Amino acid sequence: MSVELGNFSPEERAAQEKRLRDTWETPKGWRYWTSVNNSEIGLWYGVTAFVFMLFAGVLGLLIRLQLVVPNNDFMSAELFNQVFTLHGTVMMFLFAVPIFEAIAIFLLPSMLGARELPFPRLSAFGYWSFLLGGIFVCGSIFFNAAPNAGWFMYPPLATDKEYAGIGADIWLLGLSFIEVASIAAAVEIIVGIMKCRAPGMRINMMPMFAWYLLIVAGMILFAFPPLIAGDILFEMERMFNWPFFDPSRGGDPLLWQHLFWIFGHPEVYIVFLPAIALMAMIVPTFSQRPIVGYSWIVLAAVGTGFLSFGLWVHHMFATGLPQISLAFFSAASEAVAIPTGVQIFVFIATMLAGRVIFSVPMLFGAGGLIIFVIGGLTGVMVALVPFDWQAHDTYFIVAHLHYVLIGGMFFPIVAGIYYYFPFVTGKKLSDTWGKVSFWLMFTGFNTAFFPMHFSGLRGMPRRVFTYPEEFGWDIFNLVSTIGAFIFASGVATFVIDIFRPKEKPAERNLNPWNSGTLEWTNDPDESWGMRSVPIITSRYPLWDQPNLQADIEAGRFYLPDAKSGRRETLVTSVLDATPIQCLRVGGVSYVTIIAALALGGVFIALTFHWWIPTIICAIITFIAIIYWLWTGTAQIPDTAETDVGLGLSLPVYVSGPASVGWWAMFITMVGDGTAFASLIFGYFFYWTVHDDYTGVSAGPGVFWPMVALVLYLAAWGLTMLARQLNEKGPVGCRAALVAAAVVTIAASLAGLAGPYFTGMDPTSNVYPATVWVIALWTVIHGVVGVVMQLYCLARSLTGNMTGEYDQDIRNVTLYWHFMAFTAVVTFGVLGLFPLVAS
């Protein structure tokens, strides 16, 4: 790509930089309460996740203190149950996934050569949701109300209100709120990677970190929704006595295990793959050569993500499943070792092909890989059904889990922090402190967790708060406790190294490690991703493109200025990264905080069954989101095109598949569809495990479901007609939108008429409860569809949506494609499968 770069006088450059700072910096009074930019949001995200990790680590030390000697009364059984439940919950839900979402949001703008990711307000909304939900869940233990049935919350223990108390509701609703943040981050990451790369950064030239995060964000869309669906069923049983997991009324606790582990095992790889992504950035840098086998490691990462969804049943080998299921999932569990091994061998080959510079990041990375390999070997052992039957629910599994998660996630995170600390602050952490920290962590970890293999093989079960002396577990637990405190001292050394005073380097160096990837051109003192958006011709541009960093700082590429006074970034094509739009992203606003706090109020009020506050908070959430959309998205610009530099003018407004909003809607609906598919899975699960699933109750019949289906399809057709008529003028479009809203309301009433008029009591048996929950899911989505139709009508009436500027109606039409599919499946299944239900 041959382009004549721009050149500016020192005075012009100074003026450009002033306009950029005036545009991108946030007034100090707003800085900590509004969306600023993804870099700062990511930093807050990461610090918060790290604080939650330290809290969970303290809980882990309390567990070890309780188990240090036999017959210990340091904690009561009830407090111990709350502590170990919260320890696992926080580590998995409030640290392991959020820390990588934070790193992604922080690094990706600079790594992709973008000024900003497309939805900084969505990232801010996700952060505030995460913070509020985390405080709600973690704070419960100080009021003796923490969840106490394990981080997996198996029924019937967790559905027993006398035992689980309000702690189970805090877990279910608090984590459902946190999962909103995870899905919001996934949308931001996927759209940002696919649509906001620097010109020339084709999809086969993306940094490895971006590839891994793209895969992981996609996995979140398919892994988290089944858990959300399970949470809905769980809370409906606890709140309204709908018997989804009550065997006496046709329910089955195994459905929860299926839905939880469909999430839970991919979760391990959602945690592991970003850690490998950090290693994929660190290893080439300290080997001073491009990574060996770029295509192979990408394919291996994709294969790992794909296979991870076929492994969930290996957590259920002891539940009495058919032999063919055990054989299939055992084989799949063994097979995932192949792509995982490919990734590790690629790192070894890269180090052998280069000249390795031994550093603290490499030390933590290598140590993490050693620990992870040990965990992987024990994983191969428990993937074998006969061995799993012996080791299941023993401390052998505790050891395996921690070797995989701490080796595969925590050590690479620390390596990444040491590696990217100069990127954040312009200062390096201490090599001496880092080495001391590593050896304390490495020694302490293995001392703590390796003996657990032996205590597990000698029969020590998980989640016991004490044990008799004669069982011979005391020496293993004593050693493990000593190791845990050595490990904690290493973590404390690391934290002290972060916060101790540091001298500024004598010379300003934006790339102290001599890395080849693009993020190291970013100045940590500035509020934007890129000073100017470069043209990329290499996977390691800082190694292969001479003077690139100087040209970026001199503003010689795209968007050297901020003449419009708006925050702007480039949108490029998915495959070839060709510039197609100059996107104006949202700036400071309180609306994201209001929306997050109000939505959090909905979940918290539901926990305590405060119905009036729930309704009030829901109304505030609705108003905040509508205001957010009305003022922050799809605004008609003051100019059709803008000069982005280098002689190129781009449109400010695009719609359809070219727009980031269309992609965000598509990705959101994929996740939504996965949750819906999980509910349908539950319907057929009950059908297959019962000899007479529907005989206990009359079904909704055929008539009303078919009426609802026809009306929903008619509403879908009218919405598509409105989009087409909008191109010709507003009158026909508005009439079609009104008709579509009326028909949708009628369809929603018909959707509930079937189970209502046939007297299906959702508390009597699991069949009517399942029919009701699936029908309600579809009807609620129909109501959302009405809101969208009326929103487009209001936009048209106020002149904010025209034939040329039609992003709103195009996105709503895309929603209705998914809505039509949902209606076909819902009413086809409820009305026709099985016919005996009629």
Q: Which long-range contacts (CB under 8 A, 24 or more apart) does 690-696 make?
A: 690/250, 693/250, 693/767, 693/834, 694/767, 694/834, 694/836, 694/837, 695/836, 696/250, 696/764, 696/765, 696/767
Among 530, 532, 533, 535, smallest CA distance to 520 is for: 530
Contacts of 464 (CB under 8 A, 6+ apart): none
Q: Give the model's pLDDT for residue 836.
A: 46
User: Model's pTM, two decimal places?
Assistant: 0.95
Residue 506: other Cβ atoms inside 10 A: 6
Is the Cβ–Cβ distance between 114 and 558 less than 8 Å?
no
| Rounded CA separation 752/777 (Å) | 11
Report the half-sphere exposure of 555 (CA within 13 A, side-chain side).
20
Q: Which of 817, 491, 463 is nearest to 656 (CA)?
A: 817
Q: What is the pLDDT of residue 29?
A: 65
588's CB contacts (< 8 A; 6+ apart) are 26, 27, 30, 34, 35, 36
| 117 within 8 A of 188, measured Cβ to Cβ | yes
Cis peptide bond prior to 700, omega within 30° of 0: no
- CA dist 735 and 472 (Å) reads 79
Mean pLDDT estimate for the chain: 92
pLDDT at res. 601: 96
CA–CA separation, 357 and 383 (whole Å): 37
Quick check: 36 pLDDT over 70?
no
| Nearest CA-CA partner of 367 in 398, 412, 328, 336 | 412
Element spanning 579, H or E: strand 579-584
SS3 568: strand
- Rounded average pLDDT over 28-33: 63
DSSP-assigned states of every residue in 461-516:
BTT-S---GGGS-HHHHHHHHHHHHHHHHHHHHHHHHHHS--PPPSS--S-TT---
Q: How confident is the model at residue 35 (pLDDT cuts 50, 70, 90)?
A: low
Instruction: Return the residue matching tokens 């008529």.
Output: 725
| Cβ atoms within 10 Å, residue 617 | 21
Residue 372 carries which side chain, given as an amino acid letter? F
The band of 30, judged by pLDDT with boundaries at 50, 70 and 90, is low
pLDDT tier for residue 5 given thresholds of 50, 70 and 90: confident
**Residue 157 · residue 163 · CB < 8 Å:** yes
**What per-residue confidence (pLDDT) applies to 180?**
84
* Per-residue confidence band for 835, with pLDDT thresholds at 50, 70 and 90: low
Going by C-beta distance under 8 Å and a sequence separation of 6 or more, which residues neighbour residue 715? 740, 741, 743, 744, 747, 782, 785, 816
